[in-house]
Amino acid sequence: MYLIAGLGNIGKEYDGTRHNIGFEVIDYLSEKKGILVKKKEQNGLTGVYREFGEKILLAKPTTFMNNSGLCIAGLVNFYQVPLENLLIIYDDIDLAIGDVRIRQRGSAGTHNGMRSIIQSLGSQDFPRIRIGTGRPKEGADLVHFVLGHFAKSEIPLMESAVLEAVKGIDYFVKDGVDLAMNQVNVRRKKEETDRLEN
């Protein structure tokens, strides 16, 4: 079994904000797979689909970002999900806008949702997909930035990033994290190189 969780904040006022890009990936993926993510369990909303011979649980924590670990650890423990089968999708200010990176493990960086998950699981050894939102201008308030909406010019980049993340999830479930990293990270790099050369 796989657990794929996107991070965000519940509530209409947070829809479309930088901090909710993880939710957007789950919403897009659930629509693509023809399922609803609405079962309430372990401080989150979940939905299940089957593909590549695997059961895949999609989740959106309902705890607000800073307590995401309550939901993730609850689901991991309840369903006995191995940490290598856990995949967290979240926004990252340390990546350029629209960049998508898959990692096998790592620290939380500046992300409070990831900090909560690592603390609740007692481990940082689980895969994640980071989606770049870029950094605020120097001197700007970080909280205001991550809870703000994307500029009109940024929306196509973020839509493309969501599609890329969904491809990464399929690669991850079908072929494992190494191949997912090779496919998504390398292809993204190639696209950047092609763009710079043209």
pLDDT in tens, the chain (198 residues): 999 999 999 988 888 888 899 999 999 999 999 999 999 999 999 999 999 889 999 999 999 899 999 999 999 999 999 999 999 999 998 888 899 999 999 888 878 999 999 999 999 999 999 999 877 677 666 666 777 777 788 888 899 999 999 999 999 999 999 999 988 876 666 666 565 555
Q: Which residue has the tokens 């201008």?
A: 137
The answer to the question of whether 66 is labelled as a binding residue is: yes
How far are the Cα atoms of 63, 66, 67, 75, 166 from residue 117, in angstroms, in the given order?
A: 12, 9, 8, 12, 21
Amino acid at 20: N
Residue 130: per-residue pLDDT: 95
The answer to the question of whether 90 is labelled as a binding residue is: no
CA neighbor of 165 nearest in space, from 114, 104, 101, 106: 101
Residue 191: per-residue pLDDT: 64
Q: Which residue has the tokens 């990293």?
A: 181
pLDDT in tens, 109-159: 878 999 999 999 999 999 999 999 877 677 666 666 777 777 788 888 899
Confirm if 105 and 127 have CB atoms less than 8 A apart.
yes
The answer to the question of whether 64 is labelled as a binding residue is: yes
CA neighbor of 180 nearest in space, from 112, 96, 89: 89
How far are the Cα atoms of 62, 103, 170 from residue 53, in angstroms, in the given order?
A: 29, 24, 12
Please identify every residue annotated as catalytic: 19
**Rounded (to 5) percent helix, strand, coil in the chain:** 50, 20, 30
CB atoms within 10 A of CB 159: 14
Q: Which residue has the tokens 């696209």?
A: 191
* Distance (Å, whole) CA 5 – CA 18: 16
Pairing of strands 2-6, 86-92: parallel
* Distance (Å, whole) CA 87 – CA 144: 27
